[in-house]
A and B are shown apart, each in its own frame.
Chain A
Amino acid sequence: GNSVTQMEGPVTLSEEAFLTINCTYTATGYPSLFWYVQYPGEGLQLLLKATKADDKGSNKGFEATYRKETTSFHLEKGSVQVSDSAVYFCALSINTGGFKTIFGAGTRLFVKA
């Protein structure tokens, strides 16, 4: 079946540290891949996406590359800020007789000043 696995949190970093949140997926076809971010008390919002192998999604200093050979879509940022503290969700969207989005469990990030 289709699934998304992402690293468990919480992840705690100091400001300006390098961030990696791992995400791997299982899919029977060719999914689109997404990272969503959820700030406290809010709904999810799209952070970045990639629709085919080797595509790199980027936004607000975050990047992720669609790696078909390793079925991965790891999220990275070179220098995190306190304002990046949030929950990050990796997700895939695939046509299984109707497009559905499957979300990972989420990774909570705390950034200390």
Chain B
Amino acid sequence: NAGVTQTPKFQVLKTGQSMTLQCAQDMNHNSMYWYRQDPGMGLRLIYYSASEGTTDKGEVPNGYNVSRLNKREFSLRLESAAPSQTSVYFCASNQRQGGSYNEQFFGPGTRLTVL
């Protein structure tokens, strides 16, 4: 099993350009998440999808859109990139078990720089 995979690993954009970050998981998890990691701020949730066909905003959704393409894939789109979106982006997934969610499994991250 590959776990959670993300593409690309690195990306440089100019202000105003658009791009889509791809994420896929092969663990048959229902829930998927997009986070951004900035120095000193831990991980902040951008969007999540509790199950196929649903998406919800997290803590910092402005400037982003998501698509839960199917159970495996969850993409994050930046329509018009801004320097404030320079960050490391992580995709994660997990599965509900009983009355709680298990731990999250993370991808290797995408390092995005917006000039």
Contacts and interface: CB of A to CB of B under 8 A. Distances in A.
A19 B87 CA distance: 30
Given A95-B100, A99-B100, A43 B42 contact: no
Contact of B42 (A34, A45, A99, A106): A106
Interface size class of A (residues with CB under 8 A): 20 to 34
A98 interface: yes
B106 A98 contact: no
| A contacts with B: majority SS | strand
Contacts of A93: 100-101
A105 B41 contact: yes
Contacts of A95: 99-100
B45 A49 contact: no
Given A43-B108, A89-B42, A100-B45, A51 B100 contact: yes
Interface of A: 32, 34, 36, 41-46, 49, 51, 89, 93, 95, 98-101, 103-106
Given A89-B42, A99-B100, A103-B42, 16 more contacts: A36-B103, A43-B4, A43-B106, A43-B107, A44-B104, A45-B105, A46-B105, A95-B99, A98-B50, A98-B56, A100-B48, A101-B33, A101-B101, A101-B104, A105-B40, A105-B41
